[in-house]
Amino acid sequence: MSCPRIEVDLGKIRRNTQTIVGRLGPRGIGVTGVTKAVCGHPAIAQAMLDGGALGLADARTSNVQRLRKAGLTCPVTLIRTPMLSQADQVVQSCEESYNTEILLISALAAAAIRIGTVHGIVLMVEMGDQRDGILPENLAGIAQQVMKMSGVALKGIGANFACLSGLAPTVLQMAAFCDLADEIEGVCGPFLKIVSGGNSANLPWALGEHATGRVNDLRLGEAILLGVEPVSGDRIDGMHTDAFTLVAEVIETGAKPAPSPIALVDPTLARLRIAPASGVSKRHILAIGHQDTDILGLSMPAGSTFIGATSDHLVIGTNRSMLKLGSEVRFQMNYNALMHAMAAPDIKVKLLDNQPTKQTRRTQGMIDHLALV
């Protein structure tokens, strides 16, 4: 079987989605499945939809186009502020997009008018993450400008937490965000369809004992795909954390002598040397490296020790392994490792499933065609 590869258990992704949808639903919050970490893989997206996600979201138009080419007709939102150069692509492939710049919204409006459609606008608000977002004091003015434009429609507001700052939202921050929804409606008139409170880092808040206010949507990727809460890294109760497995092949095995002391012309090169692993009797070299994934985001198998890695090699050590040339070693990944591995051209994707996907008539057949990439 081809290596390196990622084995994807679609059943576990579906069940993770069902679990979180079931918990958030009674609190009035729907789930939008975020597919950016898996590069818009259609079968994984379909598993989210089958699990109860109301729609999909991605940060890149290339991923959205991949979903559309596979036949998925569900609502798809672009959650990274669009590039000015991609305005036409955005309105052609996405029902809605998250925005912070009025000039860009004008370009989207013009593009929508050219093809005879109306594009939904969700205004992203800066609530403390210090990444993308309109300052709260400027939000009402920009919302009023959007309301006056033809070709676009103000659909809602969104916020983001814990991406750049690493800080989970507080109850006070979320209450202030909900107040902004009321303020915009008071100024602009129409009811906001979308009040998107954030991402997987918002789950502790969303599932807490306090009221969730106006928030009716969360954009969830990491929680569904890996079953963990991003800020703490803790497993979410009842969720699968092993839906994705990275498999690499051993290309060399055997003991290595301790390195002899050498004189380095450049002392800074010392930090690049691999230190001997204390107590390790065997080293194994695997055909995977920094070019393929975030090596530090891999969980070493039981009984194995990380020794070092280069662009194309991963060196691990073990005392009791029966690994030999051609053996496969399996790793769990964190979110960064998953993102890099799914985007790596030399890593294949193998889909595992214990339940047929409930595809719509328009998507049936296309998912199977794109199962292996």
Vertex 230 angle, CA 224 and 233, to 5°: 105
Tens digit of each residue's pLDDT (9 = 90 or more) over 64-75: 999 999 999 999
Residue type, 144: Q
Tell me the average pLDDT of the chain. Answer: 89
Residue partners of 121: CB distance under 8 A and separation at least 6 = 96, 97, 99, 105, 108, 146, 152, 153, 154, 155
- pLDDT at position 358, please? 52
- pLDDT at position 261, please? 59
**pLDDT more than 90, % of the chain:** 77
Q: Left, alpha or beta for 141 (phi > 0: left; psi -120 to 50: alpha)?
A: alpha
Secondary structure (3-state) at 237: coil
Preceding omega of 4 cis (within 30 degrees of 0): yes
Checking if the pLDDT of 325 tops 50, the result is: yes
- pLDDT at position 273, please? 46
Checking if the pLDDT of 363 tops 70, the result is: no
Taking residues 66-86, report their average pLDDT: 97
Neighbours of 78 (CB within 10 A): 25
Tens digit of each residue's pLDDT (9 = 90 or more) over 238-257: 999 999 999 999 999 986 66
- pLDDT at position 264, please? 55
User: What band does 355 get if pLDDT is binned at 50, 70 and 90?
Assistant: low
Taking residues 34-59, report their average pLDDT: 98
**Cα separation of 307 and 256, whole Å?**
12
CA dihedral sign of residues 42, 219, 194, 111: negative
- pLDDT at position 362, please? 36
Taking residues 270-297, report their average pLDDT: 77
Checking if the pLDDT of 150 tops 50, the result is: yes
Of residues 131 and 356, more confidently modeled: 131
Checking if the pLDDT of 367 tops 60, the result is: no
Look at strands 244-254 and 282-286 and give their pairing: antiparallel
Vertex 101 angle, CA 97 and 104, to 5°: 70
Instruction: Confirm if 17 and 48 have CB atoms less than 8 A apart.
Output: yes
User: What band does 319 get if pLDDT is binned at 50, 70 and 90?
Assistant: confident
Secondary structure (3-state) at 39: coil
Q: Spell 262-291 as b/e; 16+ CB within 10 A means b.
A: eeeeeeeeeeeeeeebeebebbbbbbbbee
Tens digit of each residue's pLDDT (9 = 90 or more) over 216-240: 999 999 999 999 999 888 999 999 9
* Range from 50-59, 162-171, 189-198, 300-309 that averages highest in pLDDT: 50-59
User: What band does 278 get if pLDDT is binned at 50, 70 and 90?
Assistant: low
Look at strands 119-125 and 152-159 and give their pairing: parallel
Residue partners of 217: CB distance under 8 A and separation at least 6 = 29, 30, 31, 32, 54, 156, 194, 195, 196, 197
Instruction: Confirm if 288 and 314 have CB atoms less than 8 A apart.
Output: yes
Taking residues 39-51, report their average pLDDT: 98
- pLDDT at position 128, please? 83
Taking residues 336-341, report their average pLDDT: 98
User: What band does 335 get if pLDDT is binned at 50, 70 and 90?
Assistant: very high
- By CB atoms closer than 10 A (0-12, 13-18, 19+), residue 325 is exposed
Checking if the pLDDT of 259 tops 70, the result is: no
Instruction: Confirm if 314 and 295 have CB atoms less than 8 A apart.
Output: yes
**Cα separation of 328 and 341, whole Å?**
17
| Chain position carrying tokens 């659909």 | 155
Taking residues 40-51, report their average pLDDT: 98
Say which range, 42-51, 128-137, 138-147, has the weakest mean pLDDT. 128-137
Tens digit of each residue's pLDDT (9 = 90 or more) over 285-305: 999 999 999 999 999 998 899
Does the pTM exceed 0.85?
yes
Look at strands 314-318 and 304-309 and give their pairing: antiparallel
Distance, CA of 176 to chain centre? 26
**Tokens describing residue 131:** 């990444």
Say which range, 188-192, 231-235, 351-355, has the weakest mean pLDDT. 351-355
Instruction: Confirm if 39 and 244 have CB atoms less than 8 A apart.
Output: no
Instruction: Confirm if 83 and 59 have CB atoms less than 8 A apart.
Output: no
Distance, CA of 242 to chain centre? 16
- pLDDT at position 267, please? 59
Checking if the pLDDT of 41 tops 70, the result is: yes
Of residues 358 and 185, more confidently modeled: 185
Tally of CA atoms within 13 A in the half-sphere of 116 that contains its CB? 0
Instruction: Confirm if 61 and 89 have CB atoms less than 8 A apart.
Output: yes
- pLDDT at position 372, please? 32
